[in-house]
Structures are given as C-alpha cells and as structure tokens.
Amino acid sequence: MTNEQVRWMLKVIQPERTLASLPGGAAMDQSAHASLLGLSEEVYATELGRMREEASDAAAELLADPAVAAMVDRLPLEQGAKVVAFGDSLTSDPQSWAVILREVLAKRRGSDDIALTINAVAGETTTQGLVRISGAIDAQPDWVIFLFGTNDARTQGPSPTKTLVHHEETERNIAELRHRISSETSAATIWVTPPAIDEAKVANHWGLARFGVRYRNEDLARVATIIRESGEPVVDAADLLGTAPDSEVLIGDGLHLTVEGQKRVALEVIRRWSNLA
C-alpha cells in the first residue's frame, strides 16, 4: 500500500468516528482502528501523527500573520466558550479546517479555555445529521459551525438518475437543523458551503470508484445556493476555492481537501466569524 493510499484512508474512512456509535465503538483502541484499515499500528500511528503535525503547522502559519492573529483575538468567544464543528469528512478529516481552527484557538487563546468539539462523520448526509444533531444540542454550545451537505449531492454508479438526497429535502433538512439549534440551544451558527470537486478524478479514484461514488458540480452548487439563502452567516467555500479547484487544494481523489485547502477554509471561517463580534 502506498503512502498516498494510507493517507487517503486516514482522511476519509476514519473508523474511530464511523464506528463510534456502535456499542463497543468507543472502546476500540488505535490497534483496532489500524487493523480495520489493514495497516500495522506503527504505520497508522506514525502517519496520523504526521498529519496532525501538519495541521498544527498550518495553524502556526496562519497566526504568523498579525492580521489573522488580530482577527482571532476579536472572535466573539467568552472565557470557557463551547464550539461545535458539525459535518462530514471535510470536517472529520484529521487535517480539517476545524482541527486547524482548534489549534489556532489553543495557540492564541489558550488561556480562555475555549472548547472546540468536532462532531462529524464521513459519508453522512444532512438526513443522517438530523439524527446526530442531538449530540451537539446536548453539549449546549455557544456556537455551531456547519460544513454539511456534500454527500447530499453524491450519486452512485456510472449513469445515476438521482442524488442521495433530493435538493428539496436538503433544504428541509437544513431548515430543521437550524430550527433544532435555535429552539433547543442559545447557540449562534455559521454555515460553510460545500466546495466544488474534480468530477473526473472522483469517478476514477481507486478508493471512491470501489464504492461507485460520483458527484456533479451542478448538484453541489445547488446545495451551496440553499445554504447561501438560509439566512445564517455563511462562509462561501464554494466561491473561495473556485468552480474548478486545482491540486493545491484537492487531494488525488478530487473530492477531499489538502491541508492547504483546509487552511484556506479555516482562514475564511476566522475572517467571517471575527466580523460578527
């Protein structure tokens, strides 16, 4: 197995999250996670450690800019604030925008005791998010940041006739997620639009093709429009990364973000969030 394949599985499959809801899921250790991916524990731990270090380095690079540090200082977060990052693999990725943001907060505002919890599961749609949102509500956070809806636009097979979730249902699901948060917590929310993908790379990737995964950018753009029109503060990652993202921001599968792409999303979240102070 190549290093690229190992990294892809760590970024995407994530048994520590996808199996966490099973009765014995929480008790599974690193050795079990490695075994499920067909890796030795040493390879698993070493590569995951490298990826996390790269995310920490990305946070340090952001904070090296005084303007970014000033924005972080302005974020509307009181002492002991609780933040939940909610989404799918773009958020659960060990190098995600949420991981980078958590590192930024720890490095710059560590004395404020801000807790950022990542509540994200790879492959989930907004329909599945309606089930899982109760965990975020139970935490009674001050802020919830969503990057969700990419998998609603997913299709299956070479000649699909529908997305996993129809766009009208996506709109209803997002409205319900907003309603649950606003009626059951005092949290404020920010939404991040799903970025565009490279359709050809997705269709031909060794890992995604195994599961028949396909995407069309027009379907992702429809989800992004729903989010823009939701009435909540929005970080427009779809606009930020462009309609045809290149290899600097997309890994080889054409779907998931490189650490550079994740860093750009984290920066825009910080920028938008700081303007809400």
pLDDT computed for residue 232 by the predictor: 87
The DSSP 8-state label assigned to residue 94 in this structure reads T
Using an 8 Å Cβ cutoff, are 86 and 2 in contact? no
Q: Given the structure tokens 């921001």, which residue do they identify?
A: 249
Mean pLDDT by 10 residues, the chain (277 residues): 90 79 73 88 93 97 98 98 97 97 98 97 96 96 98 95 97 98 98 97 94 95 96 93 91 96 98 95
In the three-class reduction of DSSP (H, G, I as helix; E, B as strand; rest coil), residue 23 is classed as coil
Using an 8 Å Cβ cutoff, are 112 and 77 in contact? yes
The DSSP 8-state label assigned to residue 148 in this structure reads -
Detail the DSSP E strand segments found in the chain. 82-87, 115-120, 143-147, 154-156, 188-192, 213-215, 234-235
pLDDT computed for residue 249 by the predictor: 96
pLDDT computed for residue 103 by the predictor: 98
pLDDT computed for residue 27 by the predictor: 73
CA 45 to chain centre: 21
Closest CA to 266 of 29, 10, 59: 59
Residue 93, token pair as written in the block: 């990725």
The model's pTM is 0.95
| pLDDT tens column, 167-194 | 999 999 999 999 999 999 999 999 999 9
Residue 270, token pair as written in the block: 């910080």
End-to-end CA distance of the chain, in Å? 47
pLDDT computed for residue 25 by the predictor: 64
